[in-house]
């Protein structure tokens, strides 16, 4: 008869064989089912849908604005985390800085939208100069060298002629609707307001004031979350109430915002 110890060895051998067979089966299944290793160029990836760009109406004149903004609600008080960067004494201020409301315009000089509304904003300011002053800050388009160059040019003129010269020059440039403001035009308008053409060209091409223009845009984005040109910030200096108006709007709309923030 087979000894008990021998039977135990047989069963252990049988169990080991079964484990080997089962393990071999699953290994074979894995080898058959696994994907082929990648060789060659990367497979084409499915296109990732982009967020649709904001619609930009084809506006040619100020009178076209109303049909796109007629029912637009007034802006509300923004998040308390947003704020208007302090106005420095050397900034470009039109009017009496002691008035109740500060209006800051963020504009790109070759943007048709900025050009369309800027001159009308001059009328708006004249009608409300007893309770507001107007500050201009640069918001050049991303990688738009025409915006940066013309912005630098206004700062160069300001260095030569001061605040009044800046505004006179800015108004001339903004009145050139649809223009990309090439260098020869920047120089021509500069001489019209009394700037030295040689000094102006040297200043523009030297780009020493590039960071000044860029800083305006950086502050707009980080402090006030402005990403559109033109944009306008109304600040009540007594109550610190603030309204942000993006894009172009009618003077009637801007008047309603001013009345609201002035309360």
- How far apart are the C-alpha atoms of 55 and 60, rounded to whole Å? 15
Instruction: Quick: pLDDT tens for 194-242.
Output: 999 999 999 999 989 999 999 999 999 999 999 999 999 999 999 999 9
Residue 255 lies in a domain: yes
The domain containing residue 164 runs over which residues? 83-261
Residue 71 lies in a domain: no
Residue 155 lies in a domain: yes
Instruction: Quick: pLDDT tens for 99-114.
Output: 999 999 999 999 999 9
Residue 11 has a pLDDT of 63
Q: What are phi and psi of 242, to 5 degrees?
A: -140, 145
Q: Domain with 192 in it: what CATH number?
A: 3.40.30.10
Nearest-CA neighbor of 232 among 155, 79, 118?
118
Residue 232 lies in a domain: yes
- Domains: count for the chain: 1
Instruction: Quick: pLDDT tens for 81-138.
Output: 999 999 998 899 999 999 999 999 999 999 999 999 998 999 999 999 999 999 999 9
How many alpha carbons fall within 13 Å on the CB side of residue 199? 13
User: b vs e for 103-142, b when ≥16 Cβ sit within 10 Å of the residue's Cβ?
Assistant: bbbbbbbbbbbbbbbbebbeebbeebeeebbbbbbbbbbe
Residue 42 lies in a domain: no
- How far apart are the C-alpha atoms of 21 and 12, rounded to whole Å? 14
Residue 99 lies in a domain: yes
How many alpha carbons fall within 13 Å on the CB side of residue 102? 24
Q: Are 180 and 146 in contact (CB under 8 A)?
A: yes
Which residue reads 């049909």 in tokens? 67
Instruction: Quick: pLDDT tens for 26-55.
Output: 665 655 554 444 333 333 433 433 333 445
Residue 56 has a pLDDT of 64
Residue 4 has a pLDDT of 55
Selected residue with higher pLDDT from 56 and 101: 101
Nearest-CA neighbor of 174 among 80, 86, 111?
111
The region of weakest confidence among 14-18, 105-109, 114-118, 249-253 is: 14-18
Q: Are 128 and 121 in contact (CB under 8 A)?
A: no
- How far apart are the C-alpha atoms of 141 and 220, rounded to whole Å? 13
Selected residue with higher pLDDT from 62 and 262: 262
Residue 3 has a pLDDT of 54
Q: What are phi and psi of 67, to 5 degrees?
A: -70, -20
Average pLDDT, integer, range 235-260: 96
Residue 132 lies in a domain: yes
Average pLDDT, integer, range 11-35: 62
Q: Are 78 and 232 in contact (CB under 8 A)?
A: no
- How far apart are the C-alpha atoms of 214 and 136, rounded to whole Å? 14
Residue 10 lies in a domain: no
Selected residue with higher pLDDT from 53 and 185: 185
pTM of the model: 0.77
Residue 42 has a pLDDT of 35
Please list the residues that pair with 227 across neighbouring strands: none
């Amino acid at each position: 008869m087979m000894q008990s110890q021998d039977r135990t060895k047989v069963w252990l051998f049988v169990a080991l064989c079964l484990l080997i067979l089962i393990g071999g089966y699953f290994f074979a299944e894995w080898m058959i089912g696994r994907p082929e290793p990648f060789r060659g160029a990367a497979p084409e990836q499915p296109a990732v849908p982009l967020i649709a760009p904001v619609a930009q109406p084809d506006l040619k004149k100020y009178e076209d604005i109303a049909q796109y903004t007629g029912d637009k609600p007034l802006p509300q008080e923004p998040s308390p985390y947003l704020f208007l960067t302090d106005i420095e004494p050397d900034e470009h201020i039109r009017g009496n800085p002691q008035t109740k409301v500060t209006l800051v315009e963020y504009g790109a000089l070759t943007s048709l939208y900025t050009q369309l509304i800027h001159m009308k904003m001059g009328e708006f300011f004249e009608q409300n100069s007893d309770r507001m002053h107007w500050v201009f800050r640069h918001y050049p388009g991303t990688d738009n060298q025409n915006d940066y160059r013309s912005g630098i040019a206004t700062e160069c003129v300001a260095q030569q002629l001061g605040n009044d010269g800046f505004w006179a020059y800015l108004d001339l440039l903004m009145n050139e609707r649809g223009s990309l403001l090439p260098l020869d035009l920047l120089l021509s308008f500069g001489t019209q307001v009394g700037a030295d053409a040689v000094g102006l060209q040297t200043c523009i091409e030297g780009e020493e004031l590039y960071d000044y223009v860029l800083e305006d845009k950086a502050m707009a984005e980080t402090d006030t979350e402005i990403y559109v040109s033109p944009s306008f910030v109304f600040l009540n200096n007594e109550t610190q109430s603030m309204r942000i108006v993006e894009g172009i709007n009618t003077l009637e709309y801007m008047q309603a915002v001013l009345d609201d923030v002035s309360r």
